[in-house]
Amino acid sequence: MNLAGMRTYRADDVVDAVVVGTGAGGAPLLARLAAAGLRVVALEAGPNFTPERFAFDETLADEIYWTDERLSGGATPEAFGANNSGTGVGGSTLHWGAFVPRADTRDLRLHTETGEGVDWPLTYEDLLPFYERVERFLGVSGAPSYPWDAGRRYPLPPVPRNGPAEIMARACEARGIRWADAPAAVVSQDFQSEDGPRRNACINCGFCHQGCRTGAKASMDVTYLPYAVARGAEIRAEAFVHGLERAADGRVTGVVYRQDGEDRRQRCGAVFLCAGAVETPRLLLNLGLANSSGQIGRNYMGHVATQVWGTFDNEVRMNRGYPSSLITEDFIRAGADFAGGYLIQSLGVVPVTFGNAVARGRGLWGKPLLDYLDRYNRLAGIGINGETLPCDANVLTLADETDAHGMRKAHISFGYGTNEDRLNAHATKVMRGLWEEAGAEDIWVLERVAHTLGTCRMGRDGSSAVVDPHGRSFDIDNLWICDGSTFPSSLAANPALTIMALSLRSAEAFLAGRA
C-alpha cells in the first residue's frame, strides 16, 4: 500500500501504542486508535506489497504467505503457510478468502447449551454493533435477506454465483436445505474506502487467495490501514518483533524488533499483539511473559474443514468467480450427536491448491493423478467450517529448533476429539448426499483443517485465561492481544470477521480506559 507521506515517530518517542501485526487483528484497532488521535505505530514482519505485485498465479503468491517453518504434529497435523498464515502489510488478509459469516449466537454459549466446550465471556449482542461497523466499512456483499437472521442486511448486493455455487444451490433446493448467496468481504460494486482507495467491483478472477489486483477484496491494505495512515498512524514493514522491554513494575515500555539487519526499539505506552494464534503465543512463550495462568499455547484449535469433491457433466470452470459464493447455515445446529455445528460453502479452487489437495488428501500419483487433474474444468466442491472444541491435547509449544532470529520455532499438536469426529462424519454424509443429488460422479472426501485459533484464550478469570473479555492481559495491564488466539472456542463461523469485530471492541475498551 502507499505509505508515502505517512507520519513517522522516533524510536524514543513514547507512542501511545505499538501494534504488532497488520492483519485482521491489528488493522482495525490501529485505525480506531489513530482516529481517536492517539500516536500509534504498527510493526509488520512482512514486506509492504502493492496490489501491482499480484499476478494471478499461485506460485508467485508464495511471497504473501508466512513461510517461516512451523512443526505440525498430533493426530491431524495441520498445514500452515498458504493454508492459513500470511505476511506483509495487511497480514493474512492479503490472501484470505473474505468469507465473512458472523458467529452464531448459540456458539458463544456452547457450554451452557451443551455442557461441552466453553462459553465466551461476551455475547452476540456485545459483538453485533462491531460486526455491523466492520461490514459497513469493508463493504460486505451478501444476500438481501439472510435466511438464518431475519434482521441482517448487507451493505452491497451479492457477488455472482459461480459454477460450484449453482450446483450447490440446485442440490440444496432438492434436499430442502436453505441456502443463500454468501456474505463476502468483496465489493460487488465500485466502492470508495473511507480515506482509502477507490476499490473496483470484483472482476470474478478467482484469485482471492493470491492477492486481489483490483482492490475488490477487503484486505486491510485497502481498508483499515489507509484509514489509519490518513489519521496519523505509522506502519513499519519488515520489522520482526522479538522482544518486549519492561519497567520494574512489569509494564511494557518498549517493543524490540529487527529491521534491516539491526535490532531497533520503539518506546510505547501499550502494546497490542496481533500476530495470529501461532506467532503471538510463540513470542510470549519465547519471552516467558504474561503466562501466570499457564494457558499460553493451550487449546489450540483449527476448524474442521472437510471438503467433498465430484466430477460433473457441466463445464464448471471453478476458477471463475468468487470461490465460495454460496452458504448454508442449516447445520449450525444439526440436532445430532455432537455439540456445535458447521456451515457449508461451495468451493472453487485454483489448480496448485487443488492439485496439492488431490496429491496429499486423495493420495493420487502417477497416471491416475494426471488423468484426474485433466478433469479440472468439470470439478466442483463443497466444504464445511465446523466447530472444534478446546482440548488439553491440542497445544502449541516451543520446539528445540530455532529460527533465523534465534527464536524457538512453534510446535503445534492438533487432533480431532470425539466431538469433531462426530461432526465430521455428519457433515461428510450431508455433503456426499448433496453432491449425489447434484449428479456428481467420482465423489471423494478431502480431510482438511483450516485456520489458527486459541492459545491465548480470553476469559473472566486470570487463573484460567490469558486475557480479559476485551483482550487485555491479566498479568501485564498494558499488554493486549487481539487476534484469533483469544478465541475460547472456535465457533463454526470463519474467524476473520469476528477477529475484526473484537479488534474494534478492544480499541474502544482501550480508549475508554484512558478517558
Nearest to residue 389, comparing CAs of 450, 340, 447?
A: 340
- Which residue in this structure is represented by grid cell 457450554? 111
Considering only 131, 224, 227, 372, the residue that binds another protein (CB under 8 A) is 372
105 near another protein, rule: CB under 8 A: no
Question: Scanning residues 50 to 69, which ones bind another protein (CB under 8 A)?
Answer: 50-53, 55-60, 62, 65-69
Grid cell in block for residue 135: 461490514
Which is nearer to another protein, 71 or 128 (by Cβ)? Answer: 71
Q: How far apart are CA 339 and CA 422, in angstroms?
A: 9
Let me know how long the chain is. Answer: 515
448 near another protein, rule: CB under 8 A: no
Q: How far apart are CA 480 and CA 473, in angstroms?
A: 6
> What is the closest distance, in whole angstroms, from the C-beta atom of residue 11 to another protein in the complex?
29
Q: How far apart are CA 113 and CA 108, in angstroms?
A: 10
Contact 234, 42 (CB under 8 A): yes
Size, binding site for another protein by CB under 8 A: 84
Question: Scanning residues 309 to 368, which ones bind another protein (CB under 8 A)?
Answer: 311, 314-317, 319-321, 350-352, 355-356, 358-360, 363-367
Question: Scanning residues 406 to 425, which ones bind another protein (CB under 8 A)?
Answer: 411, 413
> What is the closest distance, in whole angstroms, from the C-beta atom of residue 468 to another protein in the complex?
31
Considering only 12, 249, 260, 374, the residue that binds another protein (CB under 8 A) is 374
Which is nearer to another protein, 102 or 411 (by Cβ)? Answer: 411
Which is nearer to another protein, 63 or 421 (by Cβ)? Answer: 63
Phi-psi region of 248 (alpha: psi -120 to 50; beta: other; left: phi over 0): alpha
Nearest to residue 220, comparing CAs of 19, 36, 67, 407?
A: 19
73 near another protein, rule: CB under 8 A: yes
Nearest to residue 326, comparing CAs of 232, 414, 243, 438?
A: 438
**DSSP classification of residue 80:** -
211 near another protein, rule: CB under 8 A: no
- Judged by CB under 8 A, the stretch of 77-85, 108-116, 134-142, 422-430 that binds another protein is 77-85
Considering only 153, 198, 429, 514, the residue that binds another protein (CB under 8 A) is 198
- Which residue in this structure is represented by grid cell 454468501? 182
> What is the closest distance, in whole angstroms, from the C-beta atom of residue 470 to another protein in the complex?
31
Nearest to residue 182, comparing CAs of 211, 221, 154?
A: 154
Q: How far apart are CA 139 and CA 119, in angstroms?
A: 30
Which is nearer to another protein, 160 or 232 (by Cβ)? Answer: 160
Tell me how far apart the terminal alpha carbons of the chain are, to the nearest angstrom. 32
166 near another protein, rule: CB under 8 A: yes
The amino acid sitting at 133 is R
3 near another protein, rule: CB under 8 A: no
SS3 411: strand
Considering only 24, 32, 42, 80, the residue that binds another protein (CB under 8 A) is 80
Considering only 197, 232, 415, 433, the residue that binds another protein (CB under 8 A) is 197
Considering only 336, 399, 443, 509, the residue that binds another protein (CB under 8 A) is 399
